[in-house]
Structure 1
Amino acid sequence: MASYENLLLALDSATGILTITLNRPIKLNALNAATIEEIRQSFQEALDDAAVRGIILTGSGEKAFVAGADIAELADLNEIAGRRVAERGQEAFCMIEESTKPVIAAVNGFALGGGCELAMACHLRVASENARFGQPEVNLGLIPGYGGTQRLTQLVGKAKALELMMTGDQIKADEAHRLGLANHVVPAAELLPFCEQLLKRILSKAPLAIGMVIDCVNAYYDEEKHGYQTEANSFSRCFGSEDFREGTQAFLEKRPAAFKGA
């Protein structure tokens, strides 16, 4: 794997789990343009690497997953530059959302602004008990720009999303779990082990089918796609896969399946 200035990458060759750690602890892992580009590059590398089967995304230190965008970098932008920043962030985060390899956000502290948007781009979110979520951009005269207005609405519903984005309020991990923003809440010391075990459970299933589930669910929210047709097409494709033959044969023979992702 390549080395990055603001990210730490660690691949467990036995499980195929790649852990990507945002590593700007002095800045509470705030997202600047360089970090967003590194996120995009690292995910492209991971998607192209057959040794990577699933990804855990987390932040360094005990305080923050990502505490937000790097405000000093945004302060002098004009409208044209601001649109470019939004588009680059959306491109990077859409790459995560559309990854056919499962991605879990291990939210180990503050997930605010761009950090909340980054967590929401992941397929699942596991929060430590000290985690805090929020979209406080209105306090700066801004709105979420990396897909937050869309994904927060999808996850918690229109009324609550509007309230959170218009007030800029932060919510604790247990409230995020109640709303459906977090899948699980665990003690901080158990966060990464829990994420690893959850991801291992997912990776024990048929890789092609996991990727198709992601595609079909994403199609529900894509106006250019027909969700039911995407599902029917993917369901049909399963029948031509080796994984389907192996899965059904293993079931009939009452043994664990040995999926190959083909």
Structure 2
Amino acid sequence: MEEISLPGGVELVLDENRRTARVRLDRPDVRNAQTMATWSALARAADLIRARDAISVVVLSGAGPDFSAGLDLRMLRGDAPAGEGDVRELLGRDDAGVRGAIADFQRGFTCWRELPAIVVAVITGRAVGAGFQLALAADLRILSEDAVLVMAEARLGLVPDLGGTRRLMEIVGYAHALEICATAGPVDARRAERLGLANAVVPNEDLDAAVERQLDALRAVDPVVSRAVKTLMVGATASTPAEQLAAERAAQVPLLRKITGTSG
């Protein structure tokens, strides 16, 4: 087992024996609020996981009672800790430069769908703004009963810009996604489950056991198969029916050869 501390309060644990990586936001004193350094570290964590072929499942979580309070607002005020990022300083660039920086920040969120491993977000307490978008970036979400999701950017005069709009619409549909983003209203755990945002909602005291059951179920499948399934599912949203059928055929042939011991 290898433990790695990254900037921005990101802790990574690689357990190749159990085929599992754990990525934890570890800034409980500020409810795991995220900074520019956090976003860079999330992308770095994904790169480190991708380099380990043995890893087939990843867990995203937050230290303390909350998953993440979202954007560390000190970055907007100019008093964020040194090295964490300053929005006012960023805005000294021209518009193209600012858009380029945001593209870099988005990498800390899009990287989880791009991983071959299946990513499970474990959400306790509040997942606000960037926290909600990080939860959306996972493949599966397990929520505690006290979990609340809030796309709060509109309250700040902003829009979600870390990949959350597309993912939210894919999961809940246009009308619900528009309402959640435009009103910045809370989505409690039970509504999240009804909308398909939660794969499971469990009592807080049962959360760890429920997560381990889900991980055991995922790890029970040949990692080659689970990676192929994730690749097919991620690609399905952008594929035509014919393209998806072709992708299924292409994925199936080497698996058939593997289980039958035949070659072409």
Same fold (TM over 0.5): yes
SS in 2 for 1:66: coil
- How far off is 1:171 after superposition? 1.3
Is 1:46 aligned with 2:49? yes
Q: What is the match of residue 91 of structure 1?
A: 107
- How far off is 1:57 after superposition? 0.6
**Partner residue of 2:14 out of 11, 26, 41:** 11
Q: What is the match of residue 30 of structure 1?
A: 33
1:39–1:231 CA distance, 2 compared to 1 (3 A):
farther
Q: What is the match of residue 62 of structure 2?
A: 59
| 8 Å Cα contact 1:29-1:66 kept in structure 2 | yes
Write the distance in 2 (CA, Å) between the matches of 1:233 and 1:66: 36
| 8 Å Cα contact 2:27-2:33 kept in structure 1 | yes
1:226–1:183 CA distance, 2 compared to 1 (3 A):
same
Is 1:111 aligned with 2:116? no
| 8 Å Cα contact 2:41-2:108 kept in structure 1 | no
Report 1:146-165 matches (<5 A): 146-165=162-181
- The amino acid that maps onto 2:252 is C
Q: Residues 151-196 of structure 1, C-alpha deviation per residue, up to 9 Å, x if partnerless?
A: 1111111001111111110111111111111111011222233122
Identity over aligned pairs, percent: 30
- The amino acid that maps onto 1:147 is G
Write the distance in 2 (CA, Å) between the matches of 1:73 and 1:158: 31
SS in 2 for 1:8: strand
Is 1:132 aligned with 2:148? yes
SS in 1 for 2:122: strand
SS in 1 for 2:6: coil
Q: What is the match of residue 142 of structure 1?
A: 158
Q: Residues 80-139 of structure 1, C-alpha deviation per residue, up to 9 Å, x if partnerless?
A: 564234312322211101211111000011111001100001000000111110111111
SS in 2 for 1:105: strand
1:212–1:151 CA distance, 2 compared to 1 (3 A):
same
| 8 Å Cα contact 1:216-1:231 kept in structure 2 | no
| 8 Å Cα contact 1:238-1:244 kept in structure 2 | no
Q: What is the match of residue 251 of structure 2?
A: 237
SS in 2 for 1:56: strand
Write the distance in 2 (CA, Å) between the matches of 1:177 and 1:24: 27
Write the distance in 2 (CA, Å) between the matches of 1:131 and 1:81: 36
SS in 1 for 2:18: coil
**Partner residue of 2:219 out of 203, 212, 217:** 203
- The amino acid that maps onto 1:168 is A
1:233–1:191 CA distance, 2 compared to 1 (3 A):
same
Unaligned runs of 5+ in 2: 78-87
| 8 Å Cα contact 2:124-2:143 kept in structure 1 | yes
Unaligned runs of 5+ in 1: 249-262
SS in 2 for 1:239: helix
- The amino acid that maps onto 1:154 is E
Write the distance in 1 (CA, Å) between the matches of 2:113 and 2:67: 18
| 8 Å Cα contact 1:173-1:182 kept in structure 2 | yes
Write the distance in 2 (CA, Å) between the matches of 1:236 and 1:147: 29
- How far off is 1:213 after superposition? 1.9
- The amino acid that maps onto 1:240 is P
SS in 2 for 1:103: strand
1:7–1:170 CA distance, 2 compared to 1 (3 A):
same
TM-score (norm 2): 0.85
SS in 2 for 1:133: strand
SS in 1 for 2:23: strand
- How far off is 1:244 after superposition? 4.3
Report 1:165-204 matches (<5 A): 165-204=181-220
